[in-house]
């Protein structure tokens, strides 16, 4: 089943252009370049507030989606990890949409949060990869990802497929709420349709990333920095690295570094900066200077423009294709996954079955 791949995780990373395209087929219409959600019998334009709940990598997909729902649809979004959600006694007013994101559809905390929201009158949307799962059965609005079975304990292709669905949902809500013109919708759809080829372009850096893995493998701690919608990718990068390589890693919002974690920086702490060029780039460049001034070693993941501006003096750089901000998180997920994968291979850990972890967490 692994074919020519060494591990399921590696295969699943490589599956992404195909399964993201497969997933998008159910959410965009190529003929008139529009977003098309599965049939539902209630009016999404009446939604007042969105609540997102998930765990782990699925939660990070939700964090990215928060930016999209707020930016494109101007909808206020609350987001929590499922294990915290019920215990803060959230205010759930009528007319709310609650979105649960899960690869397995069986994660106990997420399922309990879903039932809590249902009991409190929320409309339940579920972004799920297993169509026969408990969450899929209990949803009002089922938004399947078509990633196919994910075997590696570290989630990869489920994440990018979740992002694809959530991007389409954000655009759909924006259209329904009169916040997105037909022209903008077409543009978003064209960008989504281009995602698989951008993912292929990102995969083309696999060898380069494999070659730099030995720079990270000896580290005891690694810091990941990102800003705006790339901040959740920093969190995801750190999670992926710690899960499979057992290196302590933390994801931080770039601007938050100077409020604490900068104290950790020295020549032994690699800092992975995830920063496509754009309006937030300059600020991240200042954060990189702060790291460099303390002897920190930077790996910059950016596009040609970003690397031309800030690549000099980095320990290593990874060049991504220049992409629309809406699909950047999907594309930048690839180098983050590959880096964790190759570091784990250098360390010789059990990539597909890391210690202490289960694929599906069915206890609260």
Residue 111 Cα distances to 157, 170, 284, 357, angstroms:
21, 23, 37, 19
Residue 56 Cα distances to 4, 41, 59, 155, 319, angstroms:
29, 31, 5, 9, 27
Q: 94 exposed, middle or buried (CB, 10 Å; 0-12, 13-18, 19+)?
A: exposed
- Residue whose CB is less far from ligand M6R, 122 or 133: 133
- Residue whose CB is less far from ligand M6R, 111 or 327: 111
Position 10 contacts ligand M6R (CB under 6 A): no
3-state DSSP call for residue 284? helix
Shortest Cβ 2–ligand M6R spacing (Å):
18
Shortest Cβ 227–ligand M6R spacing (Å):
22
Give the binding-site size for ligand M6R (rule: CB under 6 A). Answer: 17
Shortest Cβ 42–ligand M6R spacing (Å):
25
The Cα 106–Cα 253 span in angstroms is: 30
Among 16, 23, 102, 134, binds ligand M6R (CB under 6 A): 102
Residues within window 150-179 making contact with ligand M6R, judged by CB under 6 A: 153-155
Shortest Cβ 57–ligand M6R spacing (Å):
4
Q: What residues contact 45, with CB distance under 8 A and at least 6 apart? A: 176, 177, 178
Q: What is the DSSP string of 289-347?
A: HHHHHTT-EEEEEEEHHHHHHH-TT-SEEEEEP---TTTHHHHHHHHHHHHHHHHHHHH
Shortest Cβ 322–ligand M6R spacing (Å):
28
Position 336 contacts ligand M6R (CB under 6 A): no
| Neighbouring C-beta atoms of residue 138, cutoff 10 Å | 16
Report the residue closest to ligand M6R, judged by CB.
Answer: 56
Position 51 contacts ligand M6R (CB under 6 A): no
Assess contact for 330 and 304: CB atoms under 8 A.
no
Position 23 contacts ligand M6R (CB under 6 A): no
Per-residue interface string for the shown chain with ligand M6R, residues 199-238, x marking contact by CB under 6 A = ----------------------------------------
Q: Where are the alpha helices (DSSP H) in 151-230?
A: 157-176, 182-203, 206-216
H/E element, 126: strand 123-128
Residues within window 242-261 making contact with ligand M6R, judged by CB under 6 A: 243
Shortest Cβ 109–ligand M6R spacing (Å):
9
Decide the pairing of beta strands 28-29 and 34-35: antiparallel
Residues within window 110-139 making contact with ligand M6R, judged by CB under 6 A: 110
- Residue whose CB is less far from ligand M6R, 12 or 303: 12
Among 10, 16, 51, 58, binds ligand M6R (CB under 6 A): 58
Position 315 contacts ligand M6R (CB under 6 A): no
Residues lying near ligand M6R in the complex (CB under 6 A): 55-58, 102-104, 107, 110, 153-155, 239, 243, 357, 360-361
């Amino acid at each position: 089943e692994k074919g020519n791949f060494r591990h399921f995780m590696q295969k699943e990373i490589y599956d992404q252009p195909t399964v993201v395209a497969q997933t998008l087929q159910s959410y965009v219409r190529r003929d008139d370049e529009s977003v098309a959600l599965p049939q539902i019998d209630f009016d999404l334009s009446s939604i007042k507030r969105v609540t997102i709940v998930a765990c782990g990598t699925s939660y990070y997909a939700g964090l990215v989606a928060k930016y999209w729902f707020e930016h494109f649809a101007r909808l206020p979004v609350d987001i929590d990890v499922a294990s915290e959600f019920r215990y803060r006694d959230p205010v759930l007013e009528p007319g709310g949409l609650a979105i649960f994101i899960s690869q397995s559809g069986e994660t106990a905390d997420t399922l309990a949060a879903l039932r809590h929201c249902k009991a409190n009158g929320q409309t339940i949307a579920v972004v799920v990869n297993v169509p026969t799962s408990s969450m899929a059965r209990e949803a009002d609005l089922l938004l399947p990802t078509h990633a196919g079975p994910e075997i590696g304990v570290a989630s990869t292709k489920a994440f990018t497929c979740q992002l694809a669905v959530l991007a389409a949902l954000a655009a759909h809500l924006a259209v329904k709420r009169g916040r997105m013109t037909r022209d903008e919708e077409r543009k978003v759809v064209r960008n989504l349709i281009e995602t698989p080829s951008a993912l292929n372009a990102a995969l083309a850096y696999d060898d380069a990333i494999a070659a730099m893995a030995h720079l990270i493998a000896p580290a005891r701690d690694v810091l990941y920095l990102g800003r705006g919608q790339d901040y959740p990718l920093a969190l995801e990068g750190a999670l992926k690295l710690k899960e499979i390589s057992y290196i302590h890693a933390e994801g931080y919002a770039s601007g938050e570094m100077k409020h604490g974690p900068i104290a950790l920086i020295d020549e032994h702490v690699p800092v992975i900066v995830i920063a496509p060029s754009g309006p937030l780039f300059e600020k991240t460049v200042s954060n990189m200077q702060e790291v460099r001034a303390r002897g920190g070693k930077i790996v910059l993941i950016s596009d040609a423009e970003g690397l031309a501006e800030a690549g000099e003096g980095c320990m290593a750089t990874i060049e991504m294709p220049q992409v629309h901000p809406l699909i950047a998180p999907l594309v930048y997920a690839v180098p983050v996954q590959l880096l964790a994968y190759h570091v784990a291979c250098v360390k010789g850990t059990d990539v597909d079955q890391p210690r202490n972890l289960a694929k599906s967490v069915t206890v609260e």
